Amino acid sequence: MNKKWTYVFLATYAAILIIATISLELIDTDALNDHPKVESNEVSYVLDAPLQKENLDSIDAAEIFDKRTHPVRDTLRMTAQGNDINSTIIVERKNENDGVIDETIIKPLLVIGGVDFSDQLNYKIPEWTADSVTFLQPPLTEITYSFYREAYLLSQFTHASEQRNLSYSKLDRQITIHLLVPKDLIIAADDQLHINYITE
């Protein structure tokens, strides 16, 4: 009787291990397929190169969240609401004083280990009033994501040691705001804001 139960136990245990191993492989495949895989260097170049070359028209339309225009008089006040404003702000001047600011908002970016999580990042766009814009601290983003690089359940029956590579590349950036402002507009900005002024 004891031998019979031993066989039943071992057979059941082996079946559980096999089912668990197959399930882990399926979970791994499905989880990675839910998020597009990209090359961090490629994504960085696609977004940074047009900004560095002052050529917003070459940015993929899918990366642009919104384009807006704002009337302005002689001075623009730029304020920060919060101490952790990570938005990239780029200011470029026009060749004329037309009393209008053209704003382009580029979506945030988060790539970890070649997996694109950009659509899960929380962010807030600037709030505009007369001759003033406020940049808001983005809400905290919490992403829980588990995946398995290998199934180790059967390794207990072998002498092979487990080796896991936990090093992943990361590329992240909050929203980018490009402001095309009138030629002689006076800008007064808070010190917390990191502004890149494009000069000819």
Domain regions of the chain by residue span: 1-34, 36-198
Q: Report the distance separating Cα 40 and Cα 21, nearest Å.
A: 31
Query: pLDDT (tens digit, 9 = 90+) per residue, 12-22?
Result: 877 777 776 66
pTM of the full structure: 0.66
* Statement: residue 1 has pLDDT above 60: no
Say how many CA atoms lie within 13 Å of 98 toward its Cβ.
11
Mean pLDDT of 42-50: 52
CA distance to 44, 112, 173, per residue, from 40 (Å): 6, 8, 12
